[in-house]
Each structure stands twice: as C-alpha cells, then as structure tokens.
Chains A and B, each alone.
Chain A
Amino acid sequence: MYGLGLLKGLSVTIRYAFKKPFTVQYPETKLKTQPRYRGYEFVWYEDRCTGCASCAKYCPLGIIKIVTKRAPEANIGGKYALDIFDIDTGRCMFCALCVEACPYDALFMGVNYERASYTRGGLVVHIDELRNAKKMPSAFLRPNLEVQAGKYTEESSLNPNEAGR
C-alpha cells in the first residue's frame, strides 16, 4: 500500500517525541571531558623545564617562543633559566606534538576549553601565565595521569611531584 513506508517511519519519530531529550543546554550544564582531552592552558612545570626547546622545534607551526639565559645558580645539568616561554595558542591546533617532544615531562596539554579573547594578542599564553596557571594536566601522552586527570575541580591543581614522570 502506498504510504505504508512513510507511516512506518513516522512510528519511529513519534516514539522519540515523548522521550527526554539527550542534549544539554551548554553554559548551564556542561558535559564532562575525557581525561585525555587536549585543550587549553598548557600545563608547564618550570622546575623541570631545561629550556632545551625540543617542543619549539617539534611544533609544526613554530608557535612556541623560547628565550633562555644561562642561570649561574642552576642546579643540575647546567640548566638554563627561561626568559620567555610563549605559546601563541591562536594558531595552535592542539596536536600535542610538543608534549610528545618534551624529554623531561615538563609540558602537558590542559583540560580547559573556555578561553575566548577579544584580541589575537590575548590568545598568546605568556610565561607568567603558565607559571601561575592552575595545573590541570591532561593525560594525553602521559598515561600515569589517567586516573587523576578525570577528577579535577575548580580549585585542585597538581604539583610537579604528583604529576609524575
């Protein structure tokens, strides 16, 4: 009979008309991201960073700017002190190759995703911001964080020792 296929299809749609929607209203309700989520606010532990600039060389876009100076009071392995460590996240594609490149586990992806800015300059993450930022590292390429990374709250942050190597 002509129209039977249509009615069959409608029976599916009608069933959904009375079900609870599975979408959420964004700013009020937020979906949870996964522990490995690659997002904003790179997490950077200054104590561990030797200024080797592997991350800067590995980045496909070359958006990490590192300027170092020799630190006389440097402790182990002739460590350099960092003057500038800027990441121009306006061009970043969150590929995490820089995280992969870091041989000292000093750089991590972050788990945040709200960082809109009115200017392009506002998207550059400067060294002071990285120093002071809440440390919420993502577990991507750092499997030892798999458990912690799912449980951050607004206040919590990981100190370098907890972040493990």
Chain B
Amino acid sequence: MPIKTSPIIVNIGPHHPSTHGVFRMRVMFDGENIIDLEPVFGYLHRGTEKLAEERTYAQIITLTDRLDYLASMSNNLAYVVSVEKLLGVKAPERAMYIRVIMAELMRIASHLIGLGSFLNDLGALATPWMYMFREREKILDLCEMVCGARITYSYMRVGGVSMDLPPEFMGALRQFCDDFPHRIDEYEKLLRENEILISRTKGVAVLSAETAKNNSLSGPVLRASGVNWDLRKSDPYEIYDRLDFEVPIGQTGDTYDRFLVRLEELRQSLKIINQCVKDMPIGETRLKLPALIRPPKGDAYGHVEAPKGELGFYIVSDGTIAPYRLKIRAPSFINLTALREMTVGYKLADLIVVFGSIDVNMGEVDR
C-alpha cells in the first residue's frame, strides 16, 4: 500500500529568531521541500508615512532614523536629498563630503551586520557575528563622536549637517581606515574558502538577472545577479561622480555571490571614505534656511543607494510646513518580494539562509 502524503502549511515567524525582527512566512512544505511561500508583512507597522504628514520637515528627520535602524545616516541622507531637490538648493561642499563619509560608514556597518546575521543563520553561531560587531562598534563610536548618538542619529539637516565634525574625528577615522583592511582580510580568511559555507550556499537560491529586474530589486541582491546597477554610478547624487570606486557584480546570483558582493563592497566603501578624507574642503557645513521650511507647491523624488538598495522618498508639498504626502520606497520591502521565487524548490534549512542573504531590516519593511 503506498503511503499518502499531503503538503503541510507551516508558519515561520513572526517570533522566529531568524526572521530579523517580526516577519512571518507562510510556507507550504512537501516533506522538507518548499512548494510555496507567502511573506506576510505588517507586524512592525508604525505609520511613518502618515505621521510625517503632521510633522514639520525638520521633525521628519527623526522618523527616518527609525526605518533602517542599522543605517540611520543613509536614511537621513535620502530624506534630506529629497527635500533639497524639492527646495532646489544644494548643501555646501564640506557638508556633502561629511554626508558621504557617514553614509559609507553606515554601509560598512550595515553590511557587517548583514554578513554576521547571514552567517549566524547559516549555523556559524555567533563567531563571525562577534568579529563583525567588533568593527561595527568602532563605527558606532565614530558616529557617537560626530553626533552623540549610536543608533538614531538625526544628524543630517536639510541644507547640510547639524554640526561640523569634531576636531578629533579625522584622526580616529584615519585609524579606522588603516585598520579595517586587515579586518576584511581576516573575514576572508575565516570564511571565503570555508567548505561548509560553500556547500551550503553555492548554487543555492539562484536568482536570475531577469527575475531580479522584474521584481524591481536593488542593492547587493540585484548586483549579485549580475546587473550593474548602483545609483551612486547611474544617477550620482552628492559628490559620488567625483569619486573613483568599483561596483562589485556577482556572476550567478546564488547565495554565495550575495555574500561575496557584500564583502567586496566593504572594500569599496573604504576606498570612497579614503578619497573623501583626502579631498575634504574646509568651509560651511549648513545653509541658512528658516527653521520652518515651506517648500513651494510641487513634488520631488530623491533616492540614494542605501546599504540595502535604492531608498527613495517621494514628497508632495502643498506649500505648508508639513508635507502633503510622503512615500517611502524601502529597499528591504521590495527585495523581500523575491523571496518566493528564490526559495521554492529548496529545503527548509535553505530558507533561513536565503532569507539571511537578502539582508532585510524589518524596521524598513513595515515602516
């Protein structure tokens, strides 16, 4: 007599430790194989977009901190760039350099967590995580030096940054830049050729360039699939057109490539920071703008390449002190929509790893 089996639906999350927050996946299993997956969003919804409609333009900066809280500076940057576009102003030179340095530091910090938690999900419990947190800690110290906070920075302002860099910052940053390449080498030695890592990730959850583009993915997930698309190159904002760096591209789009792309981006970010430190001009860091900004009627869309992908703010102004509508294009949210395509056909154990390799941040997914 043949044994009859039927698919079973399993809810993973919202309180599963590997969901990086509160995220739920309704997965249909046939034995151990995934035959369908449905992501369920919304457990961390805070109504950021609606709240923004009754905040002044300066106050919204504090809301943007709470999107991707592992890279708050990048969110600040995306928002102020959008408002500046709406106003038609440009921040002073020095402010732009400072912003780029901070945004790239954030990219390093975010990728370190991304890599660390990915490896954690893979089963390398806590060891790589600790190495990466050690370096992230130094970046947080640098941020604390600049703006006095370690997670929710609220550092950038429309038309510049809130404060110039402190005198001791440059020395500390140089020291970090000298030290960090050795650390990346160490990670590579630790992980790159690790057989367990390779056998768990190589060829797993291959995302074709076509699917990635059709799902409008962005960031390292898209680039690992071999698409050369980085807003820093394709639509340069701030001073990125003057900087010399490469955009790492993956070949196959499997989980291992996503890991390698992030690892390589660490080096490129460091290269950008080094150039900024070298060319940084002296001068004003903030435009004189009124405390209550009233942009003209109209709309603007500003976007930056945040660590997780294209982060955009679409702002509609009706000429008052608060925006009429603020729409956030959150990269993590859109990257997650490809999870189904990536995981169907693989096993339960792969699901957690693939989810880790997308590197999402729930604060940004649910806003």
**Chain A residues packing against B (C-beta within 8 Å):** 2-6, 8-9, 11-13, 22, 33-39, 58, 60, 93-97, 100-101, 109, 138-141, 143, 146
Contacts and interface: CB of A to CB of B under 8 A. Distances in A.
Contacts of B196: 6
Contacts of A96: 148, 154, 162
Residue among B134, B141, B147, B149 with the most chain A CB within 10 A?
Answer: B149
A141 B189 CA distance: 43
B289 interface: no
A12 B163 contact: no
Given A9-B189, A34-B144, 17 more contacts: A3-B195, A4-B193, A8-B190, A8-B193, A9-B193, A35-B166, A36-B146, A36-B148, A60-B59, A60-B62, A93-B62, A94-B149, A96-B162, A97-B58, A140-B147, A140-B163, A146-B166
Q: Is the interface of A mostly helix, strand, loop or mixed?
A: loop
B127 A37 contact: no
B47 interface: no
14 contacts: A9-B193, A12-B186, A13-B127, A34-B145, A36-B148, A38-B147, A38-B149, A58-B58, A60-B59, A60-B63, A138-B148, A143-B164, A146-B166, A146-B167
A139 B145 CA distance: 10
A141 B163 contact: yes
Contacts of A101: 291
Given A3-B195, A12-B190, A37-B148, A60 B162 contact: no
Interface of B: 55, 58-59, 61-63, 65, 127, 134, 141, 144-149, 152, 154, 162-164, 166-167, 186, 189-196, 198, 291
B189 A36 contact: no
A11 B188 CA distance: 12
Contacts of B146: 36
* Among all A-B residue pairs, the 4 with the closest Cβ atoms: A5-B193, A38-B148, A36-B148, A60-B59
A22 B65 CA distance: 29
Contacts of A141: 162-163
Contacts of B291: 58, 101
Contacts of A140: 147-148, 163
B62 A97 contact: yes
B176 to A, nearest CB: 15
Nearest to B166: A146
A22 B149 CA distance: 21
Nearest to A37: B148
Contact of A60 (B55, B189, B190, B191): B55
Given A36-B144, A36-B146, A36-B148, A6 B127 contact: no
Contacts of B141: 34
Nearest to A150: B168
B149 to A, nearest CB: 5
B163 to A, nearest CB: 6
